[in-house]
Structures are given as C-alpha cells and as structure tokens.
Copies of this chain bind each other. A is one copy, B any other.
Amino acid sequence: MREITYADAIREAMSEEMRRDSRVIFIGEDIGVYGGAFGVSRGMLEEFGETRVRDTPISEAVIVGAAAGAAMTGLRPIAELMFSDFITLAMDQLVNQAAKNRFQFGSQGAIPLVIRTPAGSGTGAAAQHSQSLEAWVCHVPGLKVVIPSTPYDAKGLLKAAVRDNNPVLFFEQKLLYRTKGEVPEPELSEDHIIPLGKADIKRSGHDLTIISYGRMVQESLKAAEKLAGIGIDTEVLDIRTLVPMDRQAVIASAKKTGRVLIVHEAVKTGGFGGEIVSTIADSEAFFYLDAPIKRLCGLDVPIPYNPGLEAGVVPSSAAIYTSALELMEQRQLMQGAT
C-alpha cells in the first residue's frame, strides 16, 4: 500500500464521496481558496467549484444549523469548524437541532451530516484553540462521534460517516495531520469503508490493555513498544468510534488482560475515559480485573501557551509508560494483599 498523510486521507475521503454523490456538499470558513486552516481541503475548490465547496462568513452557529437544515431536506453536507473549540458557538444547532430533530418530530426524515473539526493541543495556540471536547457530544443522544488515529482509519471512517444517515462529529487530530500511514490505492477506495462502532486492536498483548483514541493511540503504541522491551506485553485498543462504542471489544480486552489503562488527551474530570471505565466496571470483565482501572488524561487545566507547559499537561508516551508500570505493580500489591 502507498503511504499518505492523515490530512491527505481526509481530503481523499471527502473528494471521493463528493464525486460519488452530488448531494454531498462542503461548507465552512476559509475552506476554498485558502484550503482550510490546516490545508486539508487544498484543491477541492478547483475540482468541485463554489456551489459545492462553500466558504462562509465567520458564523459557526449558522454553519452547523444550515448544514443541519440542508441535511433534513435532502443534501448530505460536510461542515468544517476550523477548530473544535468553536463547537461552543454552535452547540444549540448541534444538540437541540441536529441531534434531536429527527427524534422529536417522530423519526421523520434523517439528518445525514458530518461535522469535521480539528482538535487537540500541541500547536502553541493556547486555551481557546487546543481543547479536546469530544466528551460533550458523546453525551448527546442522536449524535455519533469518531476520532481516527491513522490515515487508514481517517479515510475509511470519514467515508462511512458521510454515508451515515445521522449527524456525525468527526474530530481530527491536528498533530496527526502531517503523519503518514498506509492507505489503499484509490482504485480500491470504494471498498475502504470502516463501519462506525468498531474498535480496532492496534497491538495485541496479554499483560495489560491500553484503551485510547486519536493521537493518544500513537503515544500508547510508542509506550507499548518500550514496555515490550522490559517484557510487558501490552494490548492497545483504539476505540475509534466513541459513539456508538464497541462495548464488546472493550470488555473482551479487559477480560483478556485484567489490567486496563485508559488514555486520552482531554482533561480527566468528566472525560470520555469515565464511560470506558464504567463500561468495564459494570460488565463481566469486572470479575477478571487484577488491578484498579486507571485513567491517564489531560490535567484539569486550560491548555497553556508556553510549549513546555503545553506538553506537560497532556499525556506523553513517557507518562503512559510510567502509568502502565504503576498498574503492573499495583497488581503485585494486590496479590500480596490476598
């Protein structure tokens, strides 16, 4: 397979779906000539023209609301929010309109809508441009939520999201945009659809499970590599789709290893990690646990500007490694206690 970047994979997914289905349109701020703040849509205006690649004013609420209205009436819009921090400006449209309109109208129609938006810290953009807010939208029935960790997944999941008949929040990881990975040749793309709701074992192991998503999967894989060096065999489960979540996969892996570390960049308190912990703690996997279920997450602070601080407040492969070791030790403690 060829290697392309995460950003390219996203552009390919959008472009292929737009070629396939003329109902798919793309709206957002500076997505046309500018190609999006992160260059993801560069060239799309040239191919699809201004009726399908539509620059908007700086008006996040109506971007999402209009996309929802268009979706209710037969189009299949992809809307881009330039930074995921800006979903704050469109929460009514997302939560009270897009997520609920089908249900509250007695399941009339459908709202096939994708909201793509870059998330995460690491770019020196400080507190209002660096958040990981996925937990909020996971708490809203009617929405689906996807966060890919590789170019392969990004492409396959985005194509699936565009074909889904529900509003899907698609969080992209800024720091992964330029990373490369294997993705099937364009000729094989039609089949490269990754169903929403399927987790993926990115690395199989027996001693310990790390459950994560997005960029932290990459950090976890690095940590797992290092752990292997000292004889700890780590499984890395990428849940990929937060809603619907692949409960089976989570429970199965927890049963298999008996020790679980959950890693995400979002701040810990109220983060999606709690949902994963709870899924395990109230399942048959509970009876197989050899140690407490641990979360390693962003500190409960707004993301600071200074690069050292910024890196320091979110998990790194080194911190994951350390937490994993702690978890392994806790097992021994417990065995001692028994």
In the assembly, how many copies of this chain are there?
2
User: In chain A, residues 74-105, which have Cβ atoms closer than 8 Å to a Cβ of chain B?
Assistant: 85-89, 91-92, 94-96, 99-100, 103-104
B residues near A95, Cβ cutoff 8 Å: 88
Q: How far is the CA of A85 from the CA of B92 in the complex (A)?
A: 8
Chain B nearest CB, measured from A267 CB (Å)? 6
B residues near A88, Cβ cutoff 8 Å: 91-92, 94-96
B residues near A92, Cβ cutoff 8 Å: 86, 88-89
- Interface membership of chain A positions 305-326, coded 1 if the CB is closer than 8 angstroms to chain B and 0 otherwise: 1000000000000000000000
A237 interfacial by beta-carbon distance below 8 Å: no
A126 interfacial by beta-carbon distance below 8 Å: yes
Also in contact, A275 and B281, with CB within 8 A (given A128-B104, A300-B141): no
Query: Are B270's CB and A302's CB within 8 A?
Result: no
A170 interfacial by beta-carbon distance below 8 Å: no
A328 interfacial by beta-carbon distance below 8 Å: no
A337 interfacial by beta-carbon distance below 8 Å: yes
A286 interfacial by beta-carbon distance below 8 Å: yes
A301 interfacial by beta-carbon distance below 8 Å: yes
A37 interfacial by beta-carbon distance below 8 Å: no
**A6-14, A182-190, A288-296: which one contacts chain B?**
A288-296
Subset of 17 A-B contacts with CB under 8 Å: A86-B92, A88-B92, A89-B92, A96-B127, A104-B305, A135-B139, A135-B270, A138-B269, A139-B269, A139-B270, A140-B267, A269-B275, A272-B274, A273-B278, A280-B281, A281-B293, A282-B295
- Give me the interface of A with B, judged by CB distance under 8 Å: 85-89, 91-92, 94-96, 99-100, 103-104, 126-128, 133, 135-136, 138-142, 243, 245, 266-267, 269-275, 277-278, 280-283, 286-287, 291-295, 300-302, 304-305, 334, 337
Q: How far is the CA of A142 from the CA of B267 in the complex (A)?
A: 12
Residue A292 contacts which of B126, B142, B282, B300 (CB distance < 8 angstroms)? Answer: B282
Q: How far is the CA of A94 from the CA of B136 in the complex (A)?
A: 14
Supply 4 further A-B pairs (C-beta < 8 A) apart from A136-B139, A139-B270.
A99-B302, A100-B302, A135-B135, A274-B274
